[in-house]
Structure 1
Amino acid sequence: MSLSCFDLGERMLSVDEALEAILGFAAASSPAHETLPLAALRGRVLSEDITSPVNVPQNTNAAMDGIALAWPVGQQSQRQVQEQGQKHAPLALPECWALVGESLAGHGYRDEVPEHAAVSITTGAPMPPGTDTVIMSEQLEEAPPEAGRERVRVTRPETVKVGQHVRQAGEDVPLGAVALTAGTRLAAEHLGLLASLGVDRARVSRQVKVAIFSTGDEVTAPGEPLPMDGIFDANRFSLHGLLTALGVEVIDLGILADSSQGMVSALRDAAAAADMVITSGGVSVGQADWIKPALAETGELGFWRIAMRPGRPLAFGRLGSERVPFFGLPGNPVAVMVTFLQFVQPLIRRLQGEHAWQPLRLMARAEESLKSRSGRVDFLRGVYHADESGQLWVRSTGRQGSGILSSMVAANCLIEIAAPCAGIEAGETVTLQPFMHRG
């Protein structure tokens, strides 16, 4: 099977066949790139590997407030002796230590620390030359001065371990290591990592532009008077939210009436302005469905039927000489969101350079019997939770009609029932897809 031949025609495709064909469309695509400052990178996809120009941390430093000291040569801690299974410990760590200075974060102690002496140190401060161990403040108490020097006493010295509470230079990210790979979608933690490397900008895939519009004489924009036979346009705003969550630039073309020539003109204009075009409604076999004929005039139709519920009528093709990918999603609002998550989202992520992305799937036990029909994949709106033992359980949100958008609001996942299954009995294992776009 090859979508490039556009030979799928009228055949009903499985979900896997449809997804393979859609992703195959992007196999030869190479996204354009741009370089952006660090503050503008959230949600964007890296176009190149980021190699660390420094050690992170730059210096070996203290992980706790306390004192830094050099472990006496030839001695082991009582803890080390126990770990090694020895019966007798060498000489114990000295209880009292003279203080010869301090090492502060941003202002390290640069001199060599004498034997049996220590330096006060704060969290993040560089370890002074020759020191290798930190004893935290909670394990220290003041001792009488000696020879004009302050001293501290270590309580429970047998619990101290050589090298404790020390962060080694480069233990997070060593110099020259690949810190982030191309194809990474940058979240807050990635921005923090880049900043810790001193990276103030990065090369990312150019923002994908997606044109959306709704179709149908009955569709009315929110805020306008609702005609007797009208419905408010929910689909365009659901799509807008789903797209912006993926870092997409949305071109909102509004609502188009049921008109063949109007549809042809709109598709041509959208293809010239966007990297992808998405419509909702008008792709089934109804008398007033204009998308398929208009697509035949302005581009090519790859397929339009998938063995799934909701979302069986889904048209996929390409528009104009630009070969812009086109999705004609169903008209029912739940079907729009389900088909977007299964098919549109993977293609957008692929076009953005996120080639390794896979949807998160979890296994749970059904709290109740779940209806399905063999021969198609059913996506039910569900609510999952973990019991006290950590076992995941899932139940449906009730009525599963593809026009019941409130069931999507009540859900935190889709329950995915595979095509061979005629239903799921209570207690059986089922696959679920958490709603990762929320939050």
Structure 2
Amino acid sequence: MDNQPPSSLLPMDIALDRLREALLPITESELSPLEYILGRTLAEPVVAPINVPPSDNSAMDGYAVHIDIAAAPGTQWHVIGTALAGAPWEGTIQSGECVRITTGAMLPDNANTVVIEEDVSLDGDTITLQETLVQGEHVRPAGDDVVKGDVVLASGKTLGVADIGLLAAMGIAEAEVIRPLRIALFATGDELKEPGATLKPGQIYESNRVALTHLLKSLPVEITNLGILPDDPKLLRETFLAAADSHDIVISTGGVSVGDADYTREILQEIGDIAFWKLAIKPGKPVAFGRLNNAWFFGLPGNPVSALVTAHQILLPAIRYMAGQDWHEPFRLKAVATKTFRKKPGRMDFQRAILTRNHQGDWEAEPTSGQGSHMLLSFTQANGYAVIPAESGDIPIGSEVTVVPFGAELLG
């Protein structure tokens, strides 16, 4: 699989093509309660077990009546009962009779129309129609939304909030969905320490695992946090192999550059296959992807901004695809630069940007103050990326720039 020249930088579009070609969606499924299926993929179609609504009911507060075609102003009915939502009136209305009814209440037998309160006058137990009434007005027929026996959700659909609400409305309490992807996550580096520990000279706090865990929470995954591993080739090799035996994806951060202590790529070449390991993007050049026994491996950069950018642009689409979802390219739009975006030709640049809309409704963008791959503070100030092509130089004020707004997975 390793067909990338050692010194070359792979363009982003080619890297994404290789991902799509290599990855296969998983097919194992499980029956899961509605509380746990948001964002999951249906493994089989859903057939409506009932009509929704299950019976004719009222769309408004008013009076349930029977008319043949239409009723003219002055028509009168005698009120003989009340139908409430959840407490229907039992009986059959006759000509000249009506039942007071509330929104959502089941229509009595022989009723086919509802006249709203505003269109009648009430005198004792008699209502008098003030406006022309047409048969079927203000009635929701049985099966108006869903017809029993129809396929309402197709296999392969990613379940959203409305889908889950529909399942509940049909009385379905659980669904057969693709199981969560099992992901092993760890960081590498002798200099890394857990937040809360006391730092010694040369040490830094490790932030990638917690950030990536929250980034992936919106996806159907189960994450095993393997902690921080030292720059020990033997331990790294053992961890890779053990993680690959029990997970679908193994993710590491750090160790994929070209430093003397960056062992990840060397180990992967020994025990796995690498599809690519250096991309022509900034930030995030040192990214590795390949096969590791039964698992797929993603080696993300150690710098926190690089790790987040590459995870957002490469890892998330890959996980969604493996979970049975369609491959989606990030949503992009055009904006006008209100400050100069500085760039040298050579690599595609994902610059953190602040996106706003002017009084005319047009998008505008400006870079955040710091663009270093270690500068997480500038990430917190941004709400999108300016995506600047590899061959481009500076984007001056007033020029058009392509932007990718952050989604909920980054903004929270």
Normalised by the length of structure 2, the TM-score is 0.90
Is the aligned partner of 1:118 residue 2:98? yes
For residue 218 of structure 2, what is the aligned residue in structure 1? 245
For residue 431 of structure 1, what is the aligned residue in structure 2? 403
Question: Which secondary structure does the structure 1 equivalent of 2:87 belong to?
Answer: coil
Instruction: Show structure 2 runs of 5+ residues with no match.
Output: none
- Determine which of 5, 19, 24 is the counterpart of 2:21: 24
Per the alignment, do residues 394 and 95 of structure 1 end up closer, same or farther by CA in structure 2, a change over 3 Å counting? farther
Is the aligned partner of 1:47 residue 2:43? yes
For residue 137 of structure 2, what is the aligned residue in structure 1? 164
Contact 2:47/2:152 (8 A) holds in 1: yes
Distance 2:266 2:327 in 1: 35
Equivalent position amino acid for 1:415 in 2: A
Distance 2:135 2:153 in 1: 33
For residue 283 of structure 1, what is the aligned residue in structure 2? 256
For residue 12 of structure 2, what is the aligned residue in structure 1? 15
Distance 2:26 2:193 in 1: 38
Equivalent position amino acid for 1:418 in 2: P
Contact 2:351/2:386 (8 A) holds in 1: yes
Q: Percent identity?
A: 36
Distance 2:198 2:145 in 1: 59
Question: Which secondary structure does the structure 1 equivalent of 2:277 belong to?
Answer: strand
Deviation at 1:318, TM superposition (A): 1.4
| 1:242-261 Cα distance to aligned partner (Å, 9 max, x none) | 22231311111111112222
Is the aligned partner of 1:346 residue 2:317? yes
Equivalent position amino acid for 1:220 in 2: K
Equivalent position amino acid for 1:173 in 2: V
Question: Which secondary structure does the structure 1 equivalent of 2:287 belong to?
Answer: strand
Distance 1:187 1:73 in 2: 42
Per the alignment, do residues 9 and 173 of structure 1 end up closer, same or farther by CA in structure 2, a change over 3 Å counting? farther
Normalised by the length of structure 1, the TM-score is 0.85
Equivalent position amino acid for 1:245 in 2: S
For residue 239 of structure 2, what is the aligned residue in structure 1? 266
| 1:56-83 Cα distance to aligned partner (Å, 9 max, x none) | 11112111111122345366xxxxxxxx
Q: What is the correspondence of 1:214-233 to structure 2 with a 5 Å cutoff?
A: 214-233=187-206
Deviation at 1:429, TM superposition (A): 5.1
Equivalent position amino acid for 1:247 in 2: P
Equivalent position amino acid for 1:115 in 2: S
- Determine which of 177, 185, 188 is the counterpart of 2:158: 185
Equivalent position amino acid for 2:170 in 1: L
Deviation at 1:277, TM superposition (A): 0.7
Equivalent position amino acid for 1:104 in 2: L
- Determine which of 208, 218, 236 is the counterpart of 2:209: 236
Contact 2:384/2:403 (8 A) holds in 1: no
- Determine which of 150, 168, 172 is the counterpart of 1:199: 172
Distance 2:253 2:327 in 1: 28
- Of 128-137 and 332-341, deviating more is 128-137
Distance 2:343 2:106 in 1: 63
Q: What is the correspondence of 1:260-409 to structure 2 with a 5 Å cutoff?
A: 260-320=233-293, 322=294, 324-355=295-326, 357-387=328-358, 390-409=361-380
Is the aligned partner of 1:65 residue 2:61? yes
Q: Aligned residue pairs: how many?
A: 409
- Determine which of 101, 116, 125 is the counterpart of 1:136: 116
